[in-house]
């Protein structure tokens, strides 16, 4: 089904560790699309209620209202026929279906932007992100600042002992680290 007639869709992925500015970059791209009067819908995973259950919020407190969901396939029911840009935050928390869903939306002629962590706290690929990165036309990898030395940081250091892959938190639970100062948990 070609919803947005005469246009070719595509997928953009914004990835990197925590604090690398993924949400800020996502918000910037959405704002610019809104200035261009594009029809936008914003989704995020319902698990991340750190700041706001229904808005995407950056660590620097920029925010935009969105819809929180658990099953990424719900986007196919919720997306309006006229929506030109579908933005998804915290893409790493969704199941593997996010690859099929984003491809479907792009094949319908829409621009799709997904922001998400590419690596988990062990430094291993996070959920569906590797497959998503492969099917995206545009990939932006961002780096944060290492909290030990100030160099560019590609890793998210968990500061607690928990071994759950998903442990929602911000500065008190995680910090950005470069490869020299990243300490993967024992056994990872």
- Judged by the rule CB under 6 A, the positions of this chain that interact with ligand ADP are 16, 18-24, 58-60, 144-145, 147, 176
Smallest gap from residue 19 Cβ to ligand ADP (A): 4
The residues annotated with a catalytic role in the active site are 90
> What Rg do the C-alpha atoms of the chain give, in angstroms?
16
Partner residues linked to 104 by β-bridges: none
Of the pair 55, 107, the CB lying nearest ligand ADP is at: 55
**3-state DSSP percent of the chain in helix, strand and coil, to 5:** 20, 25, 50
Taking the complex as a whole, the smallest distance from the CB of residue 153 to ligand ADP amounts, in Å, to: 6
Distance of CA 54 to the CA centre of its chain: 15
Residue 84: CB atoms within 10 A of its CB come to 19
In whole angstroms, the minimum distance from the beta carbon of 187 to ligand ADP comes to: 26
Q: Least CB distance from residue 25 to ligand ADP, whole Å? A: 7
By beta-carbon proximity to ligand ADP, the closer residue of 28 and 71 is 28
Q: Residue 157: exposed, middle, or buried by beta-carbon count in 10 A (0-12, 13-18, 19+)?
A: buried
Tokens at residue 179, please? 């490869």
Q: How far apart are alpha carbons 134 and 113 in whole angstroms?
A: 14
Across the strands, what pairs with 45?
69
For ligand ADP, the closer of residues 170 and 188 by Cβ is 170
Which residue number, 9 or 21, has a Cβ lying nearer to ligand ADP? 21
């Amino acid at each position: 089904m070609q919803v947005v007639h005469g246009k070719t869709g595509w997928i953009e992925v914004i990835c990197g560790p925590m604090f690398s500015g993924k949400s800020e970059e996502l918000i910037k791209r959405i704002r610019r699309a809104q200035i261009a009067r594009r029809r936008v819908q914003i989704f995020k995973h319902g698990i991340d209620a750190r700041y706001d259950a229904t808005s995407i919020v950056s660590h620097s407190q920029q925010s935009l209202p969105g819809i929180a969901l658990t099953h990424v396939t719900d986007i196919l029911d919720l997306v309006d026929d006229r929506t030109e840009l579908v933005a998804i935050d915290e893409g790493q928390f969704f199941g593997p279906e996010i690859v099929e869903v984003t491809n479907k939306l792009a094949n319908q002629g829409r621009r799709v932007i997904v922001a998400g962590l590419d690596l988990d706290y062990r430094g291993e690929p996070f959920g569906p992100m590797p497959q998503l990165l492969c099917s995206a036309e545009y990939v932006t990898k961002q780096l944060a600042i290492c909290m030990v030395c100030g160099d560019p940081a590609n890793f998210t250091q968990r500061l607690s002992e928990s071994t759950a892959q998903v442990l929602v938190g911000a500065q008190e639970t995680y910090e950005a680290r470069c490869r020299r100062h990243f300490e993967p948990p024992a056994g990872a």
